[in-house]
């Protein structure tokens, strides 16, 4: 649902409006590319998180994404049902479940990250310096 009428400048210059609609535009560009892979953008974010670096428990992963651990349970359930990740009991602490990508999960992650690059490039196409914009956004998020 993209708006046909344009909002007045007093609205379109609000950062809240701009950030929300930038997200909507990104989703419009990216989700159709994820669909053939059988995943959503959110699921790809998890594959990226758990496929990168040392193995993480569900709770560690949730903290890093800023989501609740109960939300993480449902998300991992989805990926596990699709055969993209496995839950493994952590060697040192049998309460923890490390989330590991399957071979198929790794394949989907690589393909997903490639189409993400395409969608992001398309979104940032109007900008002369896309990397500068990404860096600025990063500084704003980190508050530094």
Partner DNA sequence: TATTGTTATACTCTATAACTATA
Partner DNA sequence: TATAGTTATAGAGTATAACAATA
Q: Report the alpha-carbon angle 138-42-109, nearest 5.
A: 90
Segment 25 to 64, residues that bind a copy of itself, using CB under 8 A: 25-27, 30, 41, 45, 48-49, 51-53, 60, 63-64
Q: Say whether residue 26 binds DNA (CB under 7 A).
A: no
Per rule CB under 7 A, count of chain residues that contact DNA? 21
Listed ranges 15-23, 80-88, 89-97, 98-106: which one lies at the site for a copy of itself (CB under 8 A): 15-23
Helices and strands (H, E) in the chain, number of each type: 7, 3
Rounded distance between C-alpha atoms, residue 90 and residue 96, angstroms: 5
Q: Say whether residue 94 binds DNA (CB under 7 A).
A: yes
Q: Say whether residue 104 binds DNA (CB under 7 A).
A: no
Q: Say whether residue 109 binds DNA (CB under 7 A).
A: no
Q: Say whether residue 77 binds DNA (CB under 7 A).
A: yes
Decide: 62 and 68 in contact? Cβ < 8 Å.
yes
Judging by DSSP bridges, how do beta strands 56-57 and 97-101 pair with one another? Answer: antiparallel
The residue with tokens 């393909």 is 111
Decide: 90 and 59 in contact? Cβ < 8 Å.
no
Q: Say whether residue 21 binds a copy of itself (CB under 8 A).
A: yes
Rounded distance between C-alpha atoms, residue 33 and residue 95, angstroms: 37
Nearer to DNA, 92 or 126 (CB): 92
Phi, psi of 75 (to 5 degrees): -65, -40
Nearer to DNA, 40 or 48 (CB): 40
Listed ranges 11-19, 54-62, 109-117, 131-139: which one lies at the site for DNA (CB under 7 A): 54-62
Q: Say whether residue 70 binds a copy of itself (CB under 8 A).
A: no
Nearer to a copy of itself, 64 or 107 (CB): 64
């Amino acid at each position: 649902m993209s708006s046909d009428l344009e909002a007045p400048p007093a609205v379109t210059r609000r950062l809240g409006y701009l950030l929300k609609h930038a997200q909507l535009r990104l989703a419009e560009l990216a989700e159709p590319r994820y669909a053939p892979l059988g995943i959503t953008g959110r699921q790809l974010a998890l594959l990226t998180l758990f496929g990168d670096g040392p193995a993480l428990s569900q709770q560690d992963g949730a903290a890093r994404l800023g989501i609740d651990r109960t939300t993480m349970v449902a998300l991992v359930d989805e990926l596990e049902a699709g055969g993209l990740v496995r839950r493994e009991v952590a060697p040192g602490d049998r309460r923890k479940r490390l989330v590991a990508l399957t071979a198929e999960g790794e394949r989907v992650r690589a393909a997903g990250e490639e189409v993400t690059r395409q969608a992001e490039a398309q979104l940032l196409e109007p900008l002369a310096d896309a990397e500068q914009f990404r860096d600025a956004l990063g500084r704003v998020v980190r508050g530094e």
